[in-house]
Structure 1
């Protein structure tokens, strides 16, 4: 096996010290001549030198990595969220380590413990099941910076929130403007804080139009998945609504398949709208009306907040609040 090229090999061929090579490769070689800098960089490329990050991190006192915990890797919302994280991390050559544990609290606790043991520089927690107790027991003793996404109800820490109350209200106003007065909402029994905010905003928007909505009667339970929506089809149809608001797009897409199998046409027989604004919305038939979250921006903003905390642990607690917008497509229509 060919021996790996080391920084000492580069220094020896360049005729300079290891320290000189290290400073030039780390962007701190301004005090050296242009000729020396160019020579070192040319040798790096010629020899295919790849830095030893373990050695580099010992010098920089940084792992150059952050941990990202999400509830599901299969949900398209988090795919876009992770893309935003990755794009922002590249600006500082930080490597994000992304884990999804499917709402398994024990597995998420294991990931947290392992990330702390590997000395990541910080954490972004988009998972809803990580508790204040877990944070107190694992993160705070390690003095590890972290940012919480709004579906996590834990207290304290920097937090990024989306205006879910307004999102629910926008959904209600849209359906009311189309003449719908008998509507249902589909959401989980064990809904997270942000989904409850969507429900509260939805109820408020309906009340503005004097439309009766009683959660015990008009909320149908389902998991936040396409399968969850599909399996809720019968319960929704039993209530005979003219429109349905799903707590996320995955539920809405599952409902639309279920309605098609039951011979119920969208939007002729029932209007359907979702929440999140995932890519699939434009490719289902009919295209899905939704309340769009700025998912890529959420990921990038979470990383930016974490960088600020890493750079200065003494700054005040950060709160970033992002807006949502209604995207009207063909799955909703005026009541006939």
Structure 2
């Protein structure tokens, strides 16, 4: 006796989501193309698919979709807060989120993406500095699975949420310039994704507008994108003789402040330090960290809402939702004495 064909089998054979099959077979498929509808009906007839009414009732009661969220590092306060925003929408809309953290490993990212697709995922939120839209589209193949891009790659096409990193860099540089600092060190990641490139370009361009010279060979220090990376770079920052330091993100800045303190350098009396992101830890370090704020939770909420809209519509037009950044001045920066 052959195995009973399920709705997931039909979805897999058609290369679409379970939600798409369910809506078409339940007479709610007008938003989908005639080609997609015809394919579903043909497969239903060909394989003799009969809905399991007990399962169907359960599905209708919960009305849930399953979405995948792929981030570089879930232990990072930034991405942890972003995922919280996604989960707020997921809970309200009865979506089931599957969270994958790939530790910035390109092969692992692609492996996780393939595994999520094998589970008939209804949609994806992808934060990756390594995967291009071409790579994502090749992995997805003929499946009708919408996805939202986030955070890492400005150069790619596709529906995405982002902030103005260039302007954020400008705000950071202008703040330090307004405080009278003219010898400034930059702590940047060893590998620059597009968002960090934009961030640092805005910072350097603003220094030029303020007639502040930056010695890129001496005052730009590369380090791992982590608190440990910032901590280990403290000695190199001291050697620059800078009166202020701008770190690529808050984690690096927090690590840098500890490294400076252990070497007897007071923040902000001897050197001002500022970061980028406005993670929750910023208010719990001493001194509290001056930073450029990204609305992290709102980014997660916005990404999830955009994905939900794509799941329930047949619109393929690219959409971009931009979120504002702003300066948050705390105690880690001060006027040059």
Q: TM-score, normalised by structure 2?
A: 0.80
Give the match's secondary structure for 1:128. coil
Instruction: State the match for 1:196 in structure 2.
Output: 197
Within 2, Cα distance between the matches of 1:253 and 1:261? 13
1:63/1:119 contact within 8 Å kept = no
Map residues 151-190 of structure 1 onto 2, 5 A cutoff.
151-153=152-154, 155-190=156-191
CA contact under 8 A between 1:88 and 1:303: conserved in structure 2?
Answer: yes
* Contact 1:123–1:145 (Cα < 8 Å) also in 2: yes
User: Alpha-carbon deviation of 1:174?
Assistant: 0.4
What displacement does 1:217 show? 3.4
Query: SS in structure 1 opposite 2:170?
Result: helix
Aligned to 1:31: none
Give secondary structure in 2 for the equivalent of 1:215.
coil
Partner of 1:22: none
Q: CA deviation at 1:150?
A: 2.9
* Cα distance, 1:73 vs structure 2: 1.1
- Is the Cα contact below 8 Å between 2:207 and 2:213 reproduced in 1? yes
The one-character-per-residue Cα deviations of 1:192-234 (angstroms, maximum 9, x if unpaired) are 1001111011012212211112434321101110001011111
Q: Does 1:256 align with 2:257?
A: yes
User: Cα RMSD (Å) of the superposition?
Assistant: 2.0
Q: CA, structure 1 residues 130+226, in 2 after alignment: closer, same or farther (shift >3 Å)?
A: same
Matching of residue 247 in structure 1 with residue 248 in structure 2: yes
Distance 1:131 1:215 in 2: 29
Give 1:307 deviation, angstroms: 1.2
2:127 & 2:274 partners in 1: Cα distance?
Answer: 24
- Normalized against structure 1, the TM-score is what? 0.80
> Does the aligned pair in 1 maintain the 2:64–2:93 contact within 8 Å?
no
C-alpha displacement of 1:85: 0.2
Q: Closer, same or farther in 2 for the Cα pair 1:145/1:265, shift >3 Å?
A: same
Distance in 2 (alpha carbons) for counterparts of 1:266 and 1:193: 30
* Contact 1:131–1:153 (CA under 8 A) maintained in structure 2: no
User: CA 1:305 to 1:214, structure 2 compared with 1: closer, same or farther past 3 Å?
Assistant: farther
Residues 164-193 of structure 1 show CA distances to partners (whole Å, capped at 9, x for unaligned) of 111100000100000000001111131110
Mean alpha-carbon deviation: is it higher for 121-130 or for 292-301? 121-130
1:14-163 to 2 correspondences below 5 Å = 64-153=65-154, 155-163=156-164
**Cα deviation 1:83-105 (Å, max 9, x = unaligned):** 10000112210011111010111
CA contact (8 A) 2:133 2:158 kept: no
For 1:236, what is the secondary structure of its paired residue?
Answer: helix
Q: Distance in 1 between matches of 2:200 and 2:84?
A: 28
Which SS does the other structure have where 1:138 is aligned? helix
| Cα 1:110/1:53, change in 2 over 3 Å | farther
- Counterpart of 1:211? 212
What is the count of residue pairs matched by the alignment? Answer: 284
Aligned to 2:306: 305
Q: What do residues 116-138 of structure 1 show as CA deviations (whole Å, max 9, x unaligned)?
A: 01111100001222233421321
Distance 1:263 1:78 in 2: 32
Q: Which residue of 2 aligns with 1:230?
A: 231
Runs of 5+ consecutive residues of structure 1 not aligned to the other structure = 1-51
SS at match of 1:109: helix
2:266 maps to 265
Per-residue CA distance 1:267-320 (angstroms, 9 max, x = gap): 000000000000110010000000010000000000111112112132421011
Go from structure 1 to structure 2 and tell me whether the alpha carbon gap of 1:139 and 1:180 turns closer, same or farther (over 3 Å shift): same
> Which residue number corresponds to residue 284 of structure 2?
283
Please identify the structure whose Cα radius of gyration is greater.
Answer: 1
**Pairwise CA distance, 1:259:** 0.2
Distance (whole Å) between structure 2 residues aligned to residue 262 and residue 284 of structure 1? 17
Inter-CA distance 257–53: structure 2 relative to 1 (3 Å threshold): farther
| Contact 2:90 2:304 (8 Å CA) reproduced | yes
Could you say if the C-alpha distance between residues 57 and 314 of structure 1 is closer, same or farther in structure 2, counting changes exceeding 3 Å?
Answer: farther
| Partner Cα distance (1:96, 1:329) in 2 | 35
